[in-house]
Amino acid sequence: MSENAAAETEEPTEESADAPTIAVTGAAGYIGSRVVAAMRERHPDWTVTALDNQYRGQVDAVGDVEVAHVDIRNRDRLEDALAGADVVCHLAAISGVDDCEEHPDLAYEVNVTGTNNVAWFCRKTGAALVFPFSMAVLGDPESFPITADQPRDPLNWYGRTKLLGERSIEAFADGEFPAHLFLKSNLYGEHVVDGTEVGKPTVINFFADRALADEPLTVYEPGSQARNFVHVKDVARAYVDSAERLLAQLDRGETGTETYEIAGTEDMSVMAVAEIVSEAAGDLLGTAVDVELVENPRGAETMVEEFGVDVSAARETLGWEPEESVADSVRRLLERHS
């Protein structure tokens, strides 16, 4: 037998045979594609299963991981695609207030029924689960810094569908499988997947796009309203940290939910963000980009001037720490496009 033939029939090593399988729903999207990339970078021995129905998908593959066309509303198809998964990172969703308001039935079917389908698979198989449920479930935070144990009082349909998903997973996981719930703040930043720029119209990305087009940066009145910002790459690392802990919890036979605040250390006003973008545009593009206050179409919402989030649980238990900064990210983004 030739050496090549012997190599082809060699039994798998103990390490490769024991390597876990991590499934990612919504894997073609803004966060999901970054999560798949982060999983492959840190754990190239892990098997990653990527699923998406391409409603808002931006890629067909992430490196050597092909994205299978699967709709989480189809439970039979979903369970076939998830078969063998040790951990499911459930990122498929109709995200954002406007999209959910414009498509309320679709938001219910995906964010509620689809999430129940994923959680039911985990309950039947014992697979672990990671699920983000968004700051929108809180409505107006009762105090700062924000913690995940604050009362739920969503102000919109997006927040309500995410709250239903959170409650369902708590019920499904009890006594059956471990699950991590992420209370995430406002995302920003772009990233590149195999040469494709993957982004989302977040407020920081919106300002950067307008600066590149030499258009004024429009800020909703009063401008002093604060947000907490966390970079998509930092969030992706949190999913990898979470998967590592969940695998250990599976080995120990632990079940039930743990909740983590995933947020950045910067909770600045929207006006401050616009000024950072304007200054960077002046330095890097040589253009004077104006900042303009405009009428706020959501003026009825509560405006707060601080938006700190307590991320100590993620830091202490997952070993996660946000690393990116708004100013550095804006400059990289403008430099790449200038």
* CATH code at position 131: 3.40.50.720
Which pLDDT belongs to residue 299?
62
In a domain, 30, yes or no: yes
Residue 13 covered by a domain: yes
Residues of the chain with pLDDT under 70: 1-17, 299-302
The pLDDT value recorded for residue 259 is 98
Does residue 183 contact residue 177 with C-beta atoms inside 8 Å?
no
Alpha-carbon distance values, 147 to 152, 177, 235, 259, 313 (Å): 11, 24, 17, 10, 10
pLDDT of residue 305: 82
Count of domains for the chain? 1
In degrees, rounded to 5, the angle at the alpha carbon of residue 190 between the alpha carbons of residues 187 and 195 is 150
Q: What is the pTM of this model?
A: 0.91
What is the predicted pLDDT for the residue at 302?
A: 59
Structure tokens at 32: 């999901």
199 in any annotated domain: no
> Does 242 map to a domain?
yes
pLDDT at 17: 52
Range of the domain at 241: 3-188+230-265+306-323
The pLDDT score that the predictor gives to residue 301 is 62
> Which pLDDT value is given to residue 6?
38
